[in-house]
Amino acid sequence: MELFTPKEIVQELDKYIIGQAEAKKSVAVALRNRYRRSRLDDKTREEITPKNIIMKGPTGVGKTEIARRLAKLVKAPLVKVEATKFTEVGYVGRDVESMVRDLVEAAIRLVREERYEELKPRATQAAVDKLVKVIMPIRKELSPDTPEAQLAESISEELVDGKLDEMQIEIEVAEPQRPIQMMQNGQGAEINLGDIFKQMGGNKPKKKRKLYVKDAMRMLVLEESDKLIDSDSVNAEALRRAEQEGIIFIDEIDKIAGAGVGSSRGGPDVSREGVQRDILPIVEGCTVSTKYGSIRTDFILFIAAGAFHVSEVKDLIPELQGRFPVVVTLDSLTKEDFVRILTEPSNALLKMYTALLKVDGVELKFTKEAIERIAEMASFENTNSENIGARRLHSLIEKLLTEVSYEAHGEKVDLVVDKAYVDSHLANEYMDLDLKRYII
């Protein structure tokens, strides 16, 4: 896991998410505690379990974005699942144990990618040697008097420098085996015939294909890397990481909570509480069987999130509440937040739209007054209709720039978006905003 301090984690999250300091701080501390625990002796480490977190707040305020950024930030297995995808045992749908299996798959991918990177120089050299043998007869015809050793060295250098990338060759490569999807009791399982052949001591079927050298190089490097990697050690390391460093982000957890006092337990949501009961042993700590081996869930960090606008955290079953001791509330976004969201983050909306339209020759510039007007409209709409958080900005900006996007065709155009432009192109929102001053 990356050795970020809590402050460094928050600083990284600040680049993409505006506000929500309490949520960022809680997540940062939880992540750092994973590292602190890993530095302890085995006996003490076994006694320390993660303090799971529930993030509650309106949609569009940054809950899911925190999970997305964490996945890129930490070199630890992390999966995001939707609580609404799971059903109680006995109903058709995904069982809750599949989230742990997904985590193990994520850990396998993570460890395998690391091993690929370590073995890349060796695998690349092996791929170059194979390609040299394929290209040699072609070069020999063109330069029959040149010694083979000299030709081989020349071809090898050109391959490494990428000078032969656009050359077409015919080469024998392992045929990719597509997994077969099997369904049983509503559960999906994949069987990969290539893996079965490999386990039986056979080789994957090969096929001659015409490819560009750059594509052949990529496929051969992967093929050679697979030969060099010890799958058993990858699986063992992945299981250890998933068990000790894994993070599961459960989104929309409020959708499986009761709807408060007096809510009906019947109808289409009959299995809600059953899903909570099924999740409980996973969060509490149990052993789950996967195709790579068994994994204990005692030390996996669970982060749950939900809007909780119909239900409350207290509507979850008490045992599950007890397994999430840290509850943080994310604030609704204000006009000032919207101004910052539009301009400050590395992936700020206005920066993205400016970059997109620049491709077609449109130079966009937004005045300060225009940005404040858009933020004011977004805040007004969220207050007076459904509060969809920062997603409201996507709706407004898309409507604002639809005409420009449609007309852009590569001719250079300079467009200054000012307050008047915003008012004229968002007339309906502007009218509602203007009428507000007359409401007593």
Q: What is the pLDDT of residues 392-418, one digit of tens each?
A: 999 899 999 999 999 888 888 899 999
pTM above 0.85, yes or no: no
Q: pLDDT tens digit string along 84-129?
A: 888 766 565 678 899 999 999 999 999 999 999 999 999 999 999 9
Q: CA 236, CA 222: separation in Å to the nearest integer?
A: 21
Residue 327 has pLDDT above 90, yes or no: yes
What are the domain boundaries of the chain? 6-105+237-329, 110-235, 335-432
Residue 294 has pLDDT above 60, yes or no: yes
List, in sequence order, the alpha helices (H) in 285-425. Answer: 318-322, 335-343, 349-358, 368-384, 391-407, 419-425
pLDDT at 267: 47
Q: CA 8, CA 355: separation in Å to the nearest integer?
A: 28
Residue 261 has pLDDT above 60, yes or no: no
Q: pLDDT tens digit string along 345-398?
A: 988 999 999 999 999 999 999 999 999 999 999 998 888 888 888 889 998 999
Nearest to 419 by CA among 354, 351, 373: 373
Mean pLDDT computed over 270-297 = 88
276 to 86, 270, 288, 303, 318: CA distances (angstroms): 10, 12, 17, 15, 10
Fold of 335-432: Helicase, Ruva Protein; domain 3 (1.10.8)
Q: Are strands 187-191 and 180-184 parallel, antiparallel or unpaired?
A: antiparallel
CATH assignment of 6-105+237-329, given 3.20.20.70, 3.30.110.40, 3.40.50.970, 3.40.50.300? 3.40.50.300
Identify the three-state secondary structure at position 366.
strand
Would you give the distance in Å from CA 409 to the centre of its chain? 33
Q: CA 336, CA 345: separation in Å to the nearest integer?
A: 14
- Stated as kind and residue range, the H or E segment containing 119 is helix 98-142
Q: pLDDT tens digit string along 233-255?
A: 999 999 999 999 899 999 989 88
Token reading at 421: 């432009």
Average pLDDT of every residue of the chain:
84
Residue 262 has pLDDT above 50, yes or no: no
Q: Which has the minimum average pLDDT: 136-140, 246-250, 417-421?
A: 136-140
Q: Are strands 206-212 and 168-174 parallel, antiparallel or unpaired?
A: antiparallel
CB 400 within 8 A of CB 422: yes
Token reading at 42: 């085995």
Share of the chain above pLDDT 70, in %: 85
Nearest to 421 by CA among 365, 340, 337, 338: 365
Higher-scoring residue by pLDDT: 128, 185: 128
Q: pLDDT tens digit string along 141-177?
A: 888 878 888 888 888 888 888 888 888 888 877 766 5
Residue 271 has pLDDT above 70, yes or no: no
Share of the chain above pLDDT 90, in %: 36
pLDDT at 198: 54
pLDDT at 429: 63
